[in-house]
Amino acid sequence: MLDYNTSHDGLLQLERDVLDSVVQKTSILEFYQVDKTPLGRGKYATVCRAVHKLTGTPYAAKFVKKRRRNQDQMKEIVHEIAVLMQCSATNRVIRLHEVYDSTTEMVLVLELAAGGELQHILDGGQCLSEPEARKAMKQILEGLSYLHDRNIAHLDLKPQNLLLSMVDNCDDIKLCDFGISKVLKPGVTVREILGTVDYVAPEVLSYDPICLSTDIWSVGVLAYVLLSGFSPFGADDKQQTFLNISKCALSFEPEHFHDVSGDAINFIKSALIVDPRQRPSVHELLDHPWISLKANIVATPALKTCEVAALTTTTSPSTPISQRKNFSSSSPTKSTTNKDFQTISNGLNASPVRTYTVTANCLICSQCGTTCRHLSQHHPSPVAKSTITVDRGILC
């Protein structure tokens, strides 16, 4: 029986004897052949493919620095280990195999997902068909329900933290990366700025208490992205993105949602509510008609190529949305005509005006999962990708 304790900052702790029994006090290189080319790299962690020398079994080795900005991070690393240990009974969370301790790093040996990140499908200029998106969201909710039943909030749900067991196949999705997750026990208030720009919830931006429903907001953003290839709130700069999130300036452009069912759109709307107390629980979302197979969804190919256009955003917070430019992805350089669209603002009286200008094709950033908003093709220095991320409470 594992002995878990929770500190007031929402971090799980392991008793010293339990931690000592888990961590190997030797080099990972004694038992594994570690690839020099990483599978992925972050500011404070690197993931490499590692093959066990005796069994030949491939794993993912996550090298996590013990110190960041001259501060000890062992509490956070132990928390991630403890969360993974608590989730060992579900197949919707990546499995922890072993842990190694070195002078400057802790190495978490994890189950290797052959299909890589869900983000890779989006990077290829594809989004999911509605049946595939529904299947993916159901699995994500199953993993999230396991966490929430144990009062664990993931707090960084996004396509690159969702792993595929099979290449280009969403039949088996697993949640990963619990580096900023929190355990939210009754009576304990946790306030912290964390998450990834396009997926962060309004209460995080306003420094209100984090709750399990903070993940539900990210679920709504994920569903929107998987169905359209766009971030619902993304803008040219993070300040405007944050304003769009705070106002819930949400719309469903016919260009990208004309073949999406009403149940799917209702699912997204139900999750993207500014007041976290009004959002459904993960179990209520699992019972939603779109997820519970009560929805009437016409079968379409598993993947569809997204006809994505980049958007340039301007704002006028005092004026509600009344017009948007309708853009043609098949001919992005042509001028467009105006159409009126109803804006969903979840009861807010005013939303920022966002004027969309068609430019070049948009990609989704492989570093942070946000939808890139490219500069105009007439801009003297057009950019290829956005790399806006949030790392452990730092908005960068």
The pLDDT score that the predictor gives to residue 7 is 66
The pLDDT score that the predictor gives to residue 96 is 98
Q: Which two tokens stand for residue 72?
A: 């000890």
The pLDDT score that the predictor gives to residue 126 is 75
Count CB atoms within 10 A of the CB of residue 20: 11
Q: How would you write the pLDDT of the chain (396 residues) with one tens digit per residue?
A: 455 666 678 999 999 999 999 999 999 999 999 999 999 988 889 999 999 999 999 999 999 999 988 899 999 999 999 999 999 999 999 999 999 999 999 999 999 999 999 999 888 777 899 999 999 999 999 999 999 999 999 999 999 999 999 987 889 999 999 999 999 988 889 999 999 999 999 999 999 999 999 999 999 999 999 999 999 999 999 999 999 999 999 999 999 999 999 999 999 999 999 999 999 999 999 999 999 986 454 444 444 443 333 232 323 232 221 222 222 222 222 222 222 222 222 332 233 323 333 233 333 333 333 333 332 333 333 333 333 333 333 332
> Which H or E element spans position 339?
strand 337-339
Binding residues for ATP: 66
Q: Which domains does the chain show, CATH number per domain?
A: 4-111 (3.30.200.20), 116-395 (1.10.510.10)
Contact 365, 165 (CB under 8 A): no
The pLDDT score that the predictor gives to residue 366 is 36
Distance (Å, whole) CA 243 – CA 200: 12
DSSP 276-316: GGGSPPHHHHHTSTTTTT-S------SEEE---EEE-----
The pLDDT score that the predictor gives to residue 334 is 27
Distance (Å, whole) CA 34 – CA 58: 10
Distance (Å, whole) CA 53 – CA 180: 32
- Exposure string of 25-41, with b = 16+ CB inside 10 Å and e = fewer, is eeebeebbeeeeeebbe
Name the nearest CA neighbour of 194 among 208, 180, 215. 180
Q: Would you name the residues annotated as active-site residues?
A: 156
